[in-house]
Amino acid sequence: KHYSTDSFLLSKPLIEFREKAREVVAKKIAPLADKADKEGKFSEGHFEILGKEGLLDVKVPKKYGGLGLGNIGSTLLTEEIAYGCGATATSVSGHTSLYTGTLVTFGSEKQILKYIKPHLSGKYVGSFSLSEPENGSDAGGLKTTAKLEGDNWILNGSKMWITNGNLPGGMILIATTDRSKQHKGINSFIVPKPLENATVHRLEDKLGMRASPTCQITFENARIPAENIIGKPGDGFKIAMTSLNSARLGAASIGLGTSRHSIDLALKYLRRNKIHPITTADCTTSSLKLAEMECRAQAARLMIYTAAKLLDENHPEATKYCAMAKVMGSETGTFCAHQAMQILGNEGYLAENKVERLYRDNRVTEIYDGTSEIQRLVIAKSFDEPSKL
Ligand code: CAA
Ligand code: FAD
């Protein structure tokens, strides 16, 4: 068991929660993953299974009917889902960290009651819409506009790469109300979908996470009620960035799930072929690879838990630690899948073996939720400030 050493860091309810998540994923999600990947099709079934098992409300406070397990609970869940199906983990992370997470942290009581409940059963899926055709990393330069006219915000612009954006459910939309104010003119809104004059143009055909839908959506004078702004005017960029800290932990945890699964598959292969990498007498190159995979995965795990704890405490160093966790988790996932494929050789390269899917799926965790380069910029920026730890 690659995780048993972390039990001193986690409370009993968290460990029990993880056990439950692991069981549900092994029985009900993992068996569907290869087919969903091959068909490149999102399955509502995955979300409804998780909803029925009470696994979609992990970050929602108890007073709103959720589990109230915060970012720590969410990272444990995401790792478990990613072990079985990276695409489901991507869609769940978008839903949990970026949709319900944004609402429970920054929404009003009325917004939470109205826009969260229907999303806990898995029938409606949440999304978060920041990136645009011409703005990915430079999020503050976004061009989609929101203009207040009477009782409505009028939305215009185009969003791209939006996970779950084509599915019925709420979307957190990040738009500018005044471009001259740069990031201080940016606001976050709740957009219920489907919505008149909000058109989904296409679904992307991708290398991995193929069963997690990624779409482009255009707003042409689409209307939402004035009360759908989240927080105070001008707070929207900060709100989006704070939610992204949580999503970055999601991407990191997907990397951790990939790492653990890659290690398990490599070990299974070596044992099946009676290659014993653990004995010092037979210290093959595979055993050295496995040792490196294990070191990096356990280091990433500690980094992810530390960052999740700091984020749950709203600690001033949380942003930096989430960025470090994202780099560690995502790059370790890619490293482990790469090494596992090498250990399995041509068997690992075959579509019928899971290493191949892990390898393809994990790659994007170094790109979405802010690229590895952007995370390193965030970490480097922190050197301008004295440490608050
Ligand atoms: N947490 C909290 N606050 C943050 C923050 C963070 N991670 N990053 C920035 N801020 C705050 C700053 O403190 C600053 O606040 P003040 O106004 O109080 O000073 C404000 O936001 C502006 O910050 P910067 O001056 O640093 O802004 P910038 O324009 O120079 O660039 C950036 C910041 C780090 C490059 C940012 O644009 C960024 O993170 N880009 C990456 C975009 C991204 O992550 N996209 C992900 C899309 S969602 C997704 O991908 C989901 C999915 O796959 C499912
Ligand atoms: P660019 O910003 O064009 O960057 C290109 C390259 O230049 C990268 O290597 C980048 O690291 C580097 N670079 C850019 N700026 C700098 C800099 N200042 N310093 C150093 N290097 C730099 N977005 C959403 O809003 N919501 C979603 O749900 C969502 N889901 C996604 C799902 C998938 C499968 C994918 C692929 C993307 C998704 N995204 C989503 C978008 C994602 O967050 C962006 O792709 C990502 O932020 C990078 O933006 P970009 O692709 O435009 O790259």
The residue-averaged pLDDT of 309-332 equals 97
SS3 168: coil
Average pLDDT of the chain is 94
Q: Is the pLDDT of residue 1 over 50?
A: no
- Distances in Å between the Cα of 195 and the Cα atoms of 49, 52, 143, 200, 220 are 26, 27, 20, 10, 11
Which tokens in the block code for residue 205? 């055909």
The residue-averaged pLDDT of 247-254 equals 98
pLDDT of residue 96: 95
Scored b (16 or more CB within 10 A) or e, 156-177 reads bbbbbbbbbbbbebbbbbbbbb
- Which helix (H) or strand (E) segment is 155 a member of? strand 152-163
What pairs with residue 198 in β-bridges? 219
pLDDT of residue 384: 83
What pairs with residue 147 in β-bridges? 154
Listed in sequence order, the DSSP H helices in 27-69 are 30-39, 44-52
Pocket test for ligand 1, best of 162, 179, 244, 253 (most atoms within 8 A of CB): 244
What is the whole-number distance in angstroms between the Cα of residue 64 and the centre of ligand 1? Answer: 29
What is the whole-number distance in angstroms between the Cα of residue 356 and the centre of ligand 1? Answer: 33
pLDDT of residue 80: 98
pLDDT of residue 182: 92
pLDDT of residue 53: 94
Q: Is the pLDDT of residue 313 over 90?
A: yes
Ligand nearest to the CA of 372: 2
- Give the Cα-Cα-Cα angle 147, 153, 155 (nearest 5 degrees): 70
Q: Is the pLDDT of residue 103 over 80?
A: yes
SS3 167: coil
Whether the upstream peptide bond of residue 31 has omega within 30° of 0, thus cis, is no
The residue-averaged pLDDT of 118-124 equals 92
Ligand nearest to the CA of 210: 2
Q: Picking from 124-128, 207-211, 351-355, which range would have the lowest pLDDT averaged per residue? A: 351-355
> Which residue, judged by its Cα, is nearest atom 44 of ligand 1?
370
Pocket of ligand 2 (CB under 6 A): 94, 127-131, 136-137, 161-163, 206, 209, 214, 364, 367-371, 373-374, 377
Please tell me the distance from the alpha carbon of residue 339 to that of residue 281, in angstroms, as a whole number. Answer: 22
What confidence category does residue 104 fall into, taking pLDDT thresholds of 50, 70 and 90? very high
* Alpha-carbon Rg for the chain in angstroms: 21
pLDDT of residue 286: 86
What confidence category does residue 44 fall into, taking pLDDT thresholds of 50, 70 and 90? confident
pLDDT of residue 43: 82
Q: Contact, 126 vs 169, CB < 8 A? A: yes
The residue-averaged pLDDT of 259-278 equals 84
Atom of ligand 2 nearest to the CA of 212: 34
SS3 159: strand
The residue-averaged pLDDT of 122-148 equals 97
HEC readout, 306-372: HHHHHHHCCCCCHHHHHHHHHHHHHHHHHHHHHHHHHHHCHHHHCCCCHHHHHHHHHHHHHCCCCCH
Atom of ligand 1 nearest to the CA of 367: 50
User: What is the 8-class DSSP label of residue 6?
Assistant: G
Pocket test for ligand 2, best of 173, 206, 367, 377 (most atoms within 8 A of CB): 367
Q: Is the pLDDT of residue 153 over 70?
A: yes
ipTM of the complex: 0.98
What is the whole-number distance in angstroms between the Cα of residue 25 and the centre of ligand 1? Answer: 32
Q: Is the dihedral of CA 254, 260, 264, 267 positive or negative?
A: positive
- Which helix (H) or strand (E) segment is 124 a member of? none
Q: What percent of the chain has pLDDT over 90?
A: 86
What is the whole-number distance in angstroms between the Cα of residue 371 and the centre of ligand 2? Answer: 6
